[in-house]
Amino acid sequence: MMKTSKYTALLLLMITMLASCYHRPHRYANVTGEITGVQTDTMSFYTLHHYTVNYNFIVRSNSLTLVAQQPEEVLSNMPTDSFTVRHGEHLVVADYRTLPQDLADSVWIQVATASRHFGWVHEGKLLRSVVPDDPISEFISTFSDTHLLIFLIVICVISAAYLIRKLKRMDVPIVHFRDIHSFYPTLLTLLVASAATLYASIQTFAPDVWRHFYFNPTLNPLSVPPILALFLLLVWAMLIVGVAVLDDVRGQLATGEAILYLSGLAAVCAIDYIVFSITSLYFIGYILLVLYFIYAIRQYRTHSRMTYVCGKCGALLRKKGECPHCGAFNV
């Protein structure tokens, strides 16, 4: 336990340092003195769209076509030139314009390429083709892809069901069924389920908060609204508890059993994420979360607590009888 506490304290210190260092400043310049009309318009655009001039994007689609002339010329059906940017190219927002007469999309965005070419495009088309130039935003965008989610759900469910069934037949430790003498694995599954439920809740009840986080991500829970702060705290808690799980598993199981146990734990966490992130969108997840807490804690109290100690080797035992470690018989 002392060793686990040491690892946990070290990771917590590292996380605190990283969270305090990862700070993304506002995308508009700080204003001192009198605010001009242009600055007011920039701040208003940032508030509504969560990005503004000098914001960086990366093209994630195969290509994106930009118009070299002004948007008014496009709406007037004047001859225009266009050019294409490819997947992976970096873009920076150079200007924006709102044209109420454009019924398709009233907001036009001018972006600049790395080769200093400037072009205009509808905001909707731009956002469908790019991702913010930030690793957190790229991660969110990747796991928000519908086709990828469906693929992951199918693969995770099939793999997890097969793995859990195989582990139960092999009579090896597995979380919720024949767990090790540690509450950390159960706690990790509960944290994953809670984080998945909260993630779906933010998407449902505060979509604009999540949209702002998508464009301006941070790892610091102290610089975001309370609901996002709670979500980030759950993510950090999963990392800390994950380290504690690794330490306990390494101390209680042999290498082969440890790998199987951690694989089963990962499968259970994957199922928790999929089930609670989807069912919470339809409000069923909140009831399931309460029932899951009751089930997980009851299973731990029933199958995981070791109340006996071998009189010869000192190993923890679930029941009296022959010690599986040294063979001594305990009465």
CATH value at residue 79: 2.30.30.40
Last residue of a domain, one of 131, 149, 178: 131
Q: Kindly compute the dihedral angle of the four CA atoms of residues 320, 326, 329, 331, in this order, to the nearest 10 degrees.
A: -40
Residue 194 lies in a domain: yes
d(CA 242, CA 236): 10
Q: Same domain, yes or no, for 119 and 209?
A: no
Q: Does 66 fall in a domain? A: yes
Domain boundary among 131, 147, 179: 131
162 and 236 in a single domain? The answer is yes
Contact 102, 27 (CB under 8 A): no
Asked if 271 and 122 sit in the same domain, the reply is no
Q: Amino acid letter at 2?
A: M
Angle at 173 between CA 168 and CA 179, to 5 degrees: 115
| Residue 49 domain-assigned (yes or no) | no
pTM above 0.75, yes or no: yes
12 occurs within a structural domain: no
> Which residues partner with 120 through β-bridges?
67, 110
Beta strand pairing call for 130-132 and 118-122: unpaired
- Per-residue pLDDT of 112-137, as tens digits, reads 999 999 999 999 999 999 999 999 99
- pLDDT digits over 195-249, tens only? 999 999 999 999 999 999 999 999 999 999 999 999 999 999 999 999 999 999 9
Q: Give the pLDDT band of residue 304 (cuts 50, 70, 90).
A: low
Mean of pLDDT values over 54-81: 94
Same domain, 111 and 204: no
Two structure tokens written together for 287: 């009831």
Whether 276 and 270 have beta carbons less than 8 Å apart is answered as no
Q: Are residues 79 and 148 in the same domain?
A: no
Beta carbons of 66 and 93 less than 8 angstroms apart: no
DSSP state at residue 304? T
Same-domain status, 117 and 143:
no
**Which pLDDT does position 105 carry in this prediction?**
94
Q: What is the pLDDT of residue 308?
A: 67
* Cα Rg of the chain, angstroms: 26
> Higher model confidence: residue 143 or residue 23?
143
pLDDT of residue 31: 39
- 100 and 236 together in one domain: no
Q: Do the domain assignments include residue 69?
A: yes
pLDDT at res. 21: 42
147 & 112 share domain:
no
Q: In this structure, is residue 247 part of a structural domain?
A: yes
CA dist., res. 246 & res. 262, Å (int): 8
Domain shared by 303 and 157, yes or no: yes
What is the reported pLDDT for 39? 65
Question: Same domain for 127 and 228?
Answer: no
Q: Do 179 and 201 have their domain in common?
A: yes
For residue 238, give its domain range.
136-330
Looking at the structure, do residues 122 and 163 belong to the same domain, yes or no? no
Burial of 8 (C-beta count, 10 Å sphere; 0-12/13-18/19+)? middle
Give 74's pLDDT tier (boundaries 50, 70, 90): very high
Q: Total structural domains in the chain? A: 2
Tokens for 174? 């597995």
Retrieve residue 252's tokens. 């209680």
Q: Does residue 321 lie in a domain region?
A: yes
- 144 inside domain: yes
DSSP state of 12: H
Q: Which residue has the higher pLDDT, 323 or 248?
A: 248
DSSP per-residue string spanning 171-214: T--BTTTB--S-SHHHHHHHHHHHHHHHHHHHHHH-HHHHHHHH
Instruction: Locate the DSSP E strands across the chain.
Output: 56-59, 63-67, 82-86, 90-98, 107-113, 118-122, 130-132, 308-309, 316-317, 321-322, 329-330
Instruction: Examine the fold and report which residue of 70, 105, 131 is the final residue of a domain before the chain moves on.
Output: 131
Query: Are the beta carbons of 175 and 265 closer than 8 angstroms?
Result: yes
